[in-house]
Every structure is written in structure tokens, then in C-alpha cells.
Structure 1
Amino acid sequence: MEKKKRKKRNPYGLWVILFLILFGGGFCYYRENFSAGTITFSAAQSGTITHVRKVSAVFANQEQPVKAPSSGTIQFVGKDGQRFRRGETLAAVQNGASSGGNQSSPGGTVITADMGGLFFHQSDGLETIITSENIMSMDLEKLVAQTSKVKVPGQTVQAGEIVGKIVNNLLPTMAFLQLPSIDNLTVGKTIRLTAGNQTMDAQIMRKSEKPMGIIVQFPHYVDGSATERHQEITWNYAPQTSGVLVPISALWTQGEEQGVFISAEGVIHFKKVKVLDKNDQQACVDNLPVGIPVVTNPRNGLEGLIAR
């Protein structure tokens, strides 16, 4: 009687099965642990999206330099930047020893205000060059090339020396703003500007292609514009939007839907949202509660993962 032949077992099959088991387990471990461990979150929060840009401004006011009528020791009346009426005494120059106070000695003279305004104990040499009266007709390339040389008088002054300036703060300040583009700006319209602690709407008076920019008129005198003629100010170039904010990096497109990955009850899910506004750092979205964690480094394969 013939003996039955035994079937030869394929040793490679066992290795294939073992590999599949190990690979599958490793993949699951990778998906649940490594992927989840590299996810970063940020809580959605209420806030406001702003659209601002820093621009260079050259300010112009009605200014009048004040000169010392004689040589000697100068004594100012009041504080730097104080307002004086026309004809009031600004300072006294003593030819000899100071007699003290604000009165001039027999050999001294007083300096009076030729116009009403703020009296500053400094000058920059541009008081009669860049003014609110002539800025509209100035060669703007020459205007931006002008450099301020701020001078503060010492205790002793010479006859004819400029010892300060009067600035008419009852007239609105004007300025030339250097901009990257003027395409969407119209003469007569207003733009939102922030200079120092003041935010105001300034009217566009003139557009310039070379140098690129606009001349604007503020609604009133701008604090600090007389002592610092060249400044960097803030242009609010688009309306702000308030609502729920998420980092711009959290936005993710899945198919044709835009949204964010959120953590709900410890599990990551994709949630469709509508973007109402955004800037370089944040997006304002609807359909999202304040405080919910959102993934800030989204990618494929996050749906259903356990948030760790």
C-alpha cells in the first residue's frame, strides 16, 4: 500500500502573515500615538481682526520760527509746548546777569508771540519750508528728501538765533503719506489713521505717482506733529471684524468645504466653518463656539483620532 505524500508547508507564508500582523499593529500604533502626539491645539477665542499697515508720514502745520532779538541768557516763560496768545511774552533775554523770574533787566529784551499757538523750545529748520499752506503745491520728491535738524537752544543765545517756534494748533495738520499703492484711493474720501494715541479720519487732498503717496488733511492738529515732523503712523486700510478667532494655520480644505479640525469629547472631527475675515495671523469664523480646541497643524488622516 502506497504511503500518502505529505504536503510541503510553505515557510514563507508564515513570515508573510507575521509581517502583516506586525505591520498592521505598528500602523495602528503609529496612527493613534505618533500622529496624535504631534497635533497642536489652540482654543478659539473672541476678538477683532484688524487690517493695518505702517506708513511714513511727513507732517505740515502753520509754524513760525522765533528768533532771539539780542545776545544773552534766555529765560523761557511757562512750559515747553504751552499755548500763548498773540502778543504774550514767550521768553526774556538778559544781556548781563540774570535778574531772576520772567522779567527782563534794563539791558534785556522780551520775546513776544507774533501769532497765537503752541510755543516749542526747539526748531528743525523746516518751519517755513514744509507748511500746511504750501504742501499742496510742493514738489513732493523734494519734500521727502528734506531732513530735519532739530535744534534746542542753550542757556546763552546769540542775536538772530532761532530759539523755538510757534505752531498754530487751531488749524488742522496736513501730511504726505508714502504708500505702496494709491489705486483704490480717491481724492475727497477719508482714510483711517492712527498717529501716537490719536485715531482719526483724514481727508485725501492730493494723489502722487512719484513719489507714490497721498496728501491728507486731518480734522484737527495732531499732537506730536510739530516736534517730530517725520513719523511712522498706522493706516487702517480696511474695516475691522469682530467675532470668534482661530489661527490662520488652523484653516483646512476638505473636498470643497473649508473648515477646521476640532476636539470634541476627546475625538478630533472636521467642522465646516465660514470665514468672515482674516489677516496674516488670524481668521474670524462663524459656527464655532468660543473656547473649543482647534488643531493648528491640520492634515489628512486626523478625522476620528483621539486628541491627546
Structure 2
Amino acid sequence: MYRLWGILFIALVGGSLWVYRSNFTPGTIKFTLAQTGTITHERKVTATFANQELPISAPFSGSIQFIGEDGQRFRRGEGVAILQPEGSVPGTIRDNTQKQTIQATTGGLFFRQTDGLETIITIDNLTSMDLNRLLAQTANVRITGANVQVGEFVGKIVNNLIPTQAFLELTSIEGLTVGKTIRLSVGGQTVSAKILRKSEKPTGIIISFPYYIDGSATKRRQEVTWIYQSPTSGVIVPKSSLWTQGEELGVFLWSEGVVHFKKVKILDQDDSQACIENLTSGIPIVITPRNGLEGLVADVKNI
């Protein structure tokens, strides 16, 4: 009986030692390379843009021929299109006397696209009207074709000398201050915009850009990137590689065939990565840290 218990005890201890040993063999350690990179702090938000826009209507029905390119700047009084009455024959005396040049009523960029919100979502209305009602307005985007009806919008003039304003939809306005600036990436350009007003319902802020934003007149609502904190560049490691040993935070790195613990300082981090001070780019680090790795001999392959 005692002999049987002895055999079972030896088997149990031996099995435990085998499991313990297997957990600390080099083959169970996973490595990656520390890489040079950048930690960014950005968030996608929706912007509703407002400019000084003036739609232009057709004085009568007919065929229209535009002058210049879409988005071209015209001075006040310059022709943006030629309108020929319905039924007129191009080149005839009747056609020449009845056709009319549609002029720019103010200086600015002329666009053939309208959305029906040119006189609703304006710079003045953003700061004076109920934002819930204002932003609930539905756009009716249309681009003028070869023929138009009397009273129909043929396009709009956008004053690109006046800075664009916008409402940014945010999940929280905590920490934002009226009069301060925020950084945004819009249409491939990074720009600082001034906070004019904070809104709790709907949650967000009204901002003013330092100049007219290209693309804001043809795409009134679009996604922009809010850079809410400056980026940090340096050597980047996965946060899964960080390990606390005693009271020290660090990583296990591989050097000359042996795993060593190295105390580190975090310069910046996001949800998945950390930027580390005084760490060599390209060095193998352990991404499955645990107790007992210090001094372990390991062969790093195929990282």
C-alpha cells in the first residue's frame, strides 16, 4: 500500500516539474522586435461646414453653357454661364438677342453643385440658431446639367476670402475652452481652429478656421481627424511586453542568447503600444513576460 502511494507521489511530483519546466522552455517565449515609430492621439469626428455662400438662379428655362472651370474664382459682375431660351437655335439672330449671360453677384468661387442649405447652414446661423434644428436639415445635392428650369439653382458663389466655420460632433466637450485652438486634419492638410462656442445638446463645438477650407463647399458634412494630443516618436513596443518586477517597470529583452530584464521609462502610450526611452530599435523583446525569465538561454528565430 505504501509502495503504491510512493509511486503516485513520484508521478505527481514528476508531472508538476515537467509542466513547470515546459512553461519556461525557450520555445514557449514569444518575441518581437522593438521598432522606431510614432504614438499618435487622433479621433475621427464629423464636421458640418459653413461658408458665405450665395446660390444663383436661372432667370428663365433653357440650355446652359458654363464659362470656365468648376471651382474657378470670378469677380463680381463676371459671367459664369450663358443661358439660351428654350426653342432658340444657336447662332441665329433671335438666339443672339435672347440669350443671357448669368453674372457672379459677388466675388468668389463658382460651383455648379448646390445642396439647398446655402442660406440655412450659414456662419451667422451656426452661432445664433438652435443647433439641433439647424443640423437636422436635409441636404438635396444636385449638379446642374445641360438644361435648367426658371428659378432653378444653376450653381453658387462661395466667398473664399472669409474663413470657414464648422460644428464638430464630439462625445464630450470636457477640457475644451472657448477661445483656445484645436488641431484638425482636413482634406490632407493639418490646421489649427479656434473654438467659438461649446454646445451640450448636441454635444460638440463651433470652430473657426483661419481661412477657407478647400472642399468644404461641395461636401458640407464630412469626417475629419481631431489631433487631441501631440504625437511622440521613438522606439515602440507592444504594451503586452511591459512587466513589473518588484517596483520596477521594464521589458525582457534578448541579448547574446540570454533573456534579461531591463528597466524602462514610458514616454507615451496608447491602447496597444508604448514609446520607450533608452531602448535600441531592432532588439528582440519578449511579448509573453512572466516570472522566471531572467537569465534564460533562448534562441531567437523568425521574428
Q: Same fold (TM over 0.5)?
A: yes
Q: Distance in 1 between matches of 2:20 and 2:126?
A: 71
One-letter identity of the residue aligned with 1:244: V
Per-residue CA distance 1:211-247 (angstroms, 9 max, x = gap): 1111000011111110010111111111211211111
2:243 counterpart residue number: 252
Residue pairs, 1:153-302, within 5 angstroms: 153-302=144-293
Structure 1 pair 301–153 and aligned structure 2 pair: CA distance change class (3 A): same
Change (3 A) 1:163 1:27: same
How far apart are the structure 2 equivalents of 1:105 and 1:41?
Answer: 80
Q: Give the C-alpha shift of residue 204 in structure 1.
A: 0.4
Structure 2 residue aligned with 1:71, among 61, 64, 78?
Answer: 61
Contact 2:53 2:119 in 1 (8 A): yes
* 2:22 corresponding residue in structure 1: 30
2:133 aligned residue (134, 142, 148): 142
Q: Distance in 1 between matches of 2:17 and 2:121?
A: 77
1:154-187 deviations in Å (ceiling 9; x for gaps): 2110111001111111110000111111121111
1:142 alignment partner, SS class: helix
Q: CA 1:86–1:19 in structure 2 vs 1: closer, same or farther (change >3 Å)?
A: same
SS of 2:113's equivalent? coil
Amino acid in the other structure paired with 1:305: L
* Inter-CA distance 112–98: structure 2 relative to 1 (3 Å threshold): farther
Is the partner of 1:241 in helix, strand or coil? Answer: strand
Distance 1:123 1:98, change over 3 A: farther
Question: Could you state the TM-score of these two structures normalised by the residue count of structure 1?
Answer: 0.88
Bigger shift: residues 291-300 or 269-278: 291-300
Per the alignment, do residues 144 and 203 of structure 1 end up closer, same or farther by CA in structure 2, a change over 3 Å counting?
A: same
Bigger Rg over Cα? 1
Query: In structure 2, what is the Cα distance between the partners aligned to 1:156 and 1:270?
Result: 75
Match of 1:40 among 14, 25, 30: 30
SS of structure 2 residue aligned to 1:134: helix
1:133 alignment counterpart: 124
Amino acid at match of 1:133: D
SS in 1 for 2:134: helix
Aligned match for 1:80, one of 70, 86, 99 = 70
Counterparts of 2:127 and 2:12 in 1: how far apart (Å)? Answer: 80
* Structure 2 residue runs without a partner (length 5+): none
When residues 306 and 151 of structure 1 are mapped into structure 2, their CA distance, relative to the original with a 3 A threshold, is same
Between the aligned partners of 2:206 and 2:240, the Cα distance in structure 1 is: 38
Structure 2-normalised TM-score? 0.90
Q: Report the residue type matching 1:26 in the other structure.
A: W
Residue pair 1:205, 1:214 contacting (<8 A) in 2 also: yes
* Alignment partners' CA distance in 2, 1:179 and 1:13: 68
